[in-house]
Amino acid sequence: MSPPFNDTLSSILGWSSLACWIVVYSPQIYENYSLQSGEGLSIFFVYIWLIGDTTNLAGAILAGLLPTMILLGAYYTLCDLILLIQVYYYRWKASNYQVTTSLEDEETPLLISGHSRRKDEVTPKKTIALQYASAMVFVVVTGLLAWWISSSIEVEEKPPLRHSTSMAWIIQSLGWTSAVCYLGSRIPQIIKNSSTRCEGLAPALFFFSILGNATYALSICVKSMEKDYLVTNASWLAGSALTIFLDVIVLFQFSYYRYMTIKRAEHGVCQ
């Protein structure tokens, strides 16, 4: 017997969200490597995100979620640590070459290495559109393919673990803490962008985050709109919706500073 349409659509959206979260860190890790600098990131953004991923992982373990979900939580935490290592490593590397430059303050001017891009270098709109269109196609295709593979494999369903009231409260608290951290992490990054003009920051990080949160929230709502079900997932829904809002602000900053850079180049204004 085939599953209801809502369950199928929810599964596809869930797998699509998973695809987004697997690759979300890659653009920024590569950006840091190519620039030999991690100064595009707010260090507080990464630390708070790390706390969010850590509490998310702890909640997944206590809730007895699938091993794949626990492994993903561990993967997210590892990626956060990689970003932190990049930031501090490139600061240490730069300090060896430029003794007079202080990298202790996170508002230090960016891109101090020989791999720096010119500030007036702007990626063509067609290239940007193609990149993001390809990203969306990747997410949709991956979601459909993963759903098809998972639906063709018979898995014995196990009844959900029953937790004591105190344990249930702990799990919910970890979920809300994680949601608040994901939300709060964007604030220092938005503030930092106003001084760095988003240089050294990969917009794809926030684009995949928006896609991941949107598809995740939709997978929950499509599955069921019953009150109890929505209340159980309220922390994740709230975190996803509000994080999308803040990520859109970051992408708006990218667009605004890109527009200003083009205008300055057209008028021959030196930065």
Residue pLDDT, tens place only, 186-240: 999 999 999 999 999 999 999 999 988 888 888 888 877 877 777 777 767 777 8
pLDDT exceeds 60 at position 151: yes
Q: What pLDDT is stored for residue 41 in this prediction?
A: 94
Is-contact 48 181, C-beta < 8 A?
yes
118: left (phi over 0), alpha (psi -120 to 50) or beta: beta
Under DSSP, the state recorded for 64 is: T
CA atoms of 64 and 84, how far apart (whole Å): 29
Torsion on CA atoms 92, 96, 97, 99, rounded to nearest 10: 100
Q: Which residue has the higher pLDDT, 102 or 197?
A: 197
80 band by pLDDT with thresholds 50, 70 and 90: very high
Compute the average pLDDT of residues 47-71: 82
What is the per-residue pLDDT for 164?
64
Domain ranges of the chain: 5-150+163-266
Q: Which residue has the higher pLDDT, 118 or 255?
A: 255
Instruction: Give the model's pLDDT for residue 106.
Output: 56
State the Cα–Cα distance between residues 63 and 112, nearest whole angstrom: 45
Res 1 pLDDT > 70: no
- Say if residue 129's pLDDT is above 80: no
The CA radius of gyration of the chain, in Å to the nearest whole number, is 21
pLDDT of 121: 58
Q: What does each C-alpha distance from 88 to 37, 65, 187, 201 come to in angstroms? A: 9, 34, 21, 16
Distance of alpha carbon 173 from alpha carbon 220, whole angstroms: 19
Q: What is the pLDDT of residue 116?
A: 46
Band (pLDDT 50/70/90 cuts) for residue 113 is very low
Q: What would the pLDDT profile of 11-46 be if each residue is shown by its tens digit?
A: 788 888 888 888 889 889 999 999 999 999 999 999
Weakest-pLDDT range from 62-76, 84-98, 112-126, 173-187: 112-126
| Percent of the chain residues past pLDDT 90, beyond the cut | 29
pLDDT at position 249 is 95
> Taking the alpha carbons of 21, 18, 23, 29 in that order, is the dihedral positive or negative?
positive
Please tell me the predicted confidence (pLDDT) of residue 119.
47
Task: Please check the confidence at residue 140 and state whether its pLDDT lies above 80.
Answer: no
pLDDT over 70, % of the chain: 76
Q: Is 118 exposed, middle or buried (0-12, 13-18, 19+ CB in 10 A)?
A: exposed
Q: Is residue 138's pLDDT more than 90?
A: no
- Residue 79's Cβ-side half-sphere holds a number of Cα atoms within 13 Å equal to 20
Q: Is residue 259 a contact partner of residue 203, using CB atoms and an 8 Å limit?
A: no
For range 166-173, the mean pLDDT:
79
Q: State the pLDDT confidence band at 114, using cuts at 50, 70 and 90.
A: very low
CA-nearest of 247, 191, 252, 269 to 24 is 247
pLDDT, tens only, 83-97: 999 999 999 998 887
